[in-house]
Amino acid sequence: MAKVFLVLFFLLYPHTNEPLLEEGKSATVRKQTPPPSEIKVISYNIRWRSGDDLKAIIKLLKDDPEIGGAAILCLQEVDRRKKRSRNTNTAKLIAHELGMHYAWAAPPAPKPKDEEETGVAILSIYPLSEVQRIVLPHEGPGNRRRVALGATVGIDDRKWRVYSAHSETRIAVDKKLDQFKAVLDDLAKFPADMPAIVMGDLNTWEPSADGKTSKFFTAAGLKTPFGPEATFRRRVLLVPIELKLDWVWLRGLEATSFGIDRKIEISDHWPLWTNVKFR
């Protein structure tokens, strides 16, 4: 009886020092179309939604006119078996429901006995390889760390490098640029002509952050179809605060259409969608 109890315990409450990187795929991956002329990509900070909210997000990712049917998803604040999200392996569940490959990563916990930190995920109808967890430099409050995730997406005979990133909120802008640099340092390990997409919540809320972020990525040869439009809304003392926090940066790819789906208010971030094709 004791052995049975221990087995059930470890299945329900896995070790906190389990590797903070996970890869997998749905039992039935969504069928790939013939070589596409363009594909839809999404960046969305889901703010650790679970339960009915998560079900609603999955339905939108299936059917919504703007964000439904994407081939590549980059998500942030994705929990894996945390109490606040009912011990749900969120990335795995979304991948199962949407028929996708997935990778998930989280930063180290501030203290050894702390509960596992929320992470980032990449989901794709195409296979993922060369998956890399990138712990970003500079700690936030309470020794908190943030993470990015890189993966090579195999689209027929083409390879794209894709990143999902979640930068720290409460550090100086120049330190945030160091976090962006950690992502581009990983990208530099791959051929310069490989198409690349960097997406995520970069937490660029300071007055100077927008311009410095644009200058940084543009100097590295990436461009974005998005302008200064807000991607985040939260009410503070009943006053709505809107900020530009989320980005999509492209290299070797062209945005044919794009948008921010502001009718979706499940998270305090709105999802960004972009249809991209080779230049």
How do residues 1-15 score in pLDDT, each as one tens digit?
444 443 333 333 333
**Structure confidence at residue 147 as a pLDDT band (50, 70, 90):** very high
Is the pLDDT assigned to residue 20 strictly greater than 80? yes
Give me the phi and psi of 11, to 5 degrees please: -70, -40
What is the rounded CA–CA span in Å between residue 248 and residue 44? Answer: 10
Q: Is 195 helix (H, G, I), strand (E, B) or coil?
A: coil
% of the chain at pLDDT higher than 70: 93
| Bridge partners (DSSP) listed for residue 253 | 278
Average of per-residue pLDDT across 90-113:
94
Mean of the pLDDT values across residues 189-216?
97
Across the beta sheet with 119-124, what order do the strands follow?
21-25, 101-105, 119-124, 72-78, 39-45, 272-278, 253-260
Q: Name the pairing type of β-strands 147-155 and 128-135.
A: antiparallel
- Average pLDDT, integer, range 265-276: 98
Q: Which residues of 92-105 are buried (b: 16+ CB within 10 A; e: fewer)?
A: bebbbbbbbbbbbb
Q: What is the pLDDT of residue 15?
A: 36
Is residue 129 within 8 A of residue 151, CB to CB? The reply is yes
DSSP, res 83: G
Calculate mean pLDDT across residues 39-46: 98
Report the CATH fold assignment for 38-278: Deoxyribonuclease I; Chain A (3.60.10)
**pLDDT mean over 81-100:** 95
Residue type at 201 in one-letter notation: D
In whole angstroms, give the CA distance from residue 164 to residue 120: 6
- 77 burial type by CB count under 10 A (0-12 exposed, 13-18 middle, 19+ buried): buried
Give this prediction's pTM: 0.92
279 and 252 in contact (C-beta within 8 Å)? yes
253, pLDDT greater than 60: yes
**Tell me, what's the pLDDT at 255?**
98
Better-scored residue on pLDDT, 157 or 133: 133
Identify which of 118, 122, 214, 233 has the alpha carbon closest to the alpha carbon of residue 173: 214
